[in-house]
Amino acid sequence: MFRSGLTVSSTHYLLQQTYEFLVSLEDHLLSELRDGVTLGSVYDSIVTKAKAERPEIVEKLTRNFGFSMGIEFRDAALSIAAGNSAVARAGAIFTAELTCMFCKAVLSRKA
């Protein structure tokens, strides 16, 4: 199935480790998403943490990590994305979507 020379059990372990890391990134996102911060700075904080802890998956992270929900569903102006200067406000509802596109780069990490 995989031609990287990894066994099924080591592949499972790497998938589990990647999933757990994405959950830790989501926890970090939730701690950073506060009233008055820009959505771009939240995005940058997540990328910085990923670069420090798992640099091999940074290129495989999606280009935005969620958006605000309300009258306008999935409004691009309220995306948690690089360079977004929109400011998070108390009471706003966000959906967080931290995703890593699965590929050999994720599996290249040694268990």
Q: Each residue of 44-79: b (16+ CB within 10 Å) or e?
A: ebbeebbeeebeebbebbeebbbbbeeeeeeeeebb
Query: What six digits make up the tokens of 78?
Result: 């309220």
Correct CATH for 8-107 of 3.90.1200.10, 3.90.230.10, 3.20.20.70, 1.10.1740.10: 3.90.230.10
Helix (H) or strand (E) segment spanning residue 52: helix 39-53
Higher pLDDT, 62 or 109: 62
Taking the C-alpha atoms of residue 81 and residue 79, their distance in angstroms, rounded to an integer, is: 5
Taking the C-alpha atoms of residue 100 and residue 106, their distance in angstroms, rounded to an integer, is: 9
| 71-75, 79-83, 96-100, 104-108: segment of lowest average pLDDT | 104-108
Per-residue model confidence (pLDDT) at position 57: 87
**Which residue type is seen at 101?**
M
Q: Is the pTM of this model over 0.85?
A: no
In this predicted model, what pLDDT tens digit does every residue of 54-78 receive, in sequence order? 998 898 898 999 998 876 666 778 8
3 state SS of 86: coil
Query: What six digits make up the tokens of 96?
Result: 């967080």
In this predicted model, what pLDDT tens digit does every residue of 2-46 receive, in sequence order? 334 444 456 677 788 888 999 999 999 999 999 999 999 999 999
